[in-house]
Amino acid sequence: MGNRTVLEETAQHMVAPGKGILAADESSGTIKKRFDGIGLESTEANRRAYRHLLFTTPEIESFISGVILYDETLRQKALDVAETPFSVLLANKGILPGIKVDTGAKPLAGFPGELITEGLDGLRKRLAEYRELGARFAKWRAVITIGQRIPSAACIDTNAHALARYAALCQEADIVPIVEPEVLMDGAHDIDVCDTVTENTLKRVFFALHEHRVYLEGIVLKPSMVLSGSTCPVEAGVEEVAKRTINNFLRNVPAAVPGIAFLSGGQSSERATAHLNAMNALFPHLPWQVSFSYGRALQEAPLAAWRGDPAHTTSAQKAFHHRALCNGAARNGKYTEAMERAA
C-alpha cells in the first residue's frame, strides 16, 4: 500500500465540486476513427495539435479537474515555444494528468461474445515510469456485454479480479486508480436488465477490491449509468435513468468512495449532461460526489468545429468550453436546456 494521504488527496481533487474528468485517452485506433469522421489523417503531429487545442482552452480548469491521457500523449509536448510537456502544462493549470494503462478488451476464452481486459503483465514497472512522467492517477476499463444468456458470472468475476489487481498495483505506486466497470448499452435490453446487470457487476467489483485490500478512499469509480439498451423500443426518460442509477449505487457502492465519475458510453453529449444533472438535482445529499468522466460527450462538438484547420481553433475551444461548462453546471443540478440554446 502506498501513501494513503496522497491517494486520498488526489482522489478528492479528481472529484472536486463543479468539476469532472476529461477522457482524452483514445487509443491509436480510436483516434483514427474520430479523425476519419472529419476527414483528417491520424498523424502524430495532428494528434498533438488536437490535444494541444483541448488542453490550452482558456479557463477550462474551472470545470476540468483531471485528464486521462494515452501513452503517446503523456510523452508529448505542447506547441508552445518552451515545448512544455502536456503533463506539466496541465499540472500548471491545477489539472491532474492521468494515464490509461490497460491494453484493451480481448475475447474471453471459452465465453463467446464476452470480453476480458488485458494489461496486468509488467504493469508495476509501467506505473513507476508513468509516475515519473507526471501521472497522478490511472484508468482501467472492464467491459460487460449484455446479450442472450450473458454476461456470465465468470466474465464478471474475471474482470472484477483484474480491476482489483490493477487498483492495488496503482495504490502501491501512489497512483489513484479509476475503476471502470462499463456495462455496455449496446443491445435491445430494457432498463430492468441493465439495472440487474449493473447491480451484479458492482457487487462483484467491490468484493474483489475488498479481497485485494484496496483503499476505497483512494479510488474513483467510473461506471456506466443504468440505461435502456441502445436499440430498445422504449427508451427510459431522464428522470427514470437518474433514479434507477442512484438507487442502484446507493445499494452497492460504499460511502467510503470519494466520487463516482460517470462515463457517457455512447450517449449524445446533451443526453449525458441531462442525466448527470438529474442525478444531482434529484439527490442533492449523497455519500459520494457524482461527477463525469466523458470522452466523446466532451469532444464531439470541438472536434467537429476544428476539422484539423488551425483557423478554427478558437471556435473549437469555445465548443469544448461550452460542453465542459454545461457538465460543470450539471454537477450541481443547475444545467438547463436554455444553456444549449444560448450557445
Q: What are the grid coordinates assigned to 6, written together?
A: 496522497
For β-strands 115-117 and 105-107, DSSP reports them as: antiparallel
Pick the catalytic residue: 19, 100, 139, 222? 222
Q: What are the grid coordinates assigned to 34, written together?
A: 474520430
Whether residue 180 lies in the annotated active site: yes
Residue with cell string 482524452: 24
CB burial class (10 A; 0-12, 13-18, 19+) of residue 197?
buried
- Beta-bridge mates of residue 28: none
Residue 249, SS3 per DSSP:
helix
Pick the catalytic residue: 26, 180, 182, 300? 180
Whether residue 222 lies in the annotated active site: yes
Using CA atoms, how far apart are residues 18 and 276, in angstroms rounded to an integer?
Answer: 12
Residue 293, SS3 per DSSP:
strand
> What is the per-residue DSSP string for 158-207?
HHHHHHHHHHHHHHHTT-EEEEEEEE---SS--HHHHHHHHHHHHHHHHH
Catalytic center residues: 180, 222
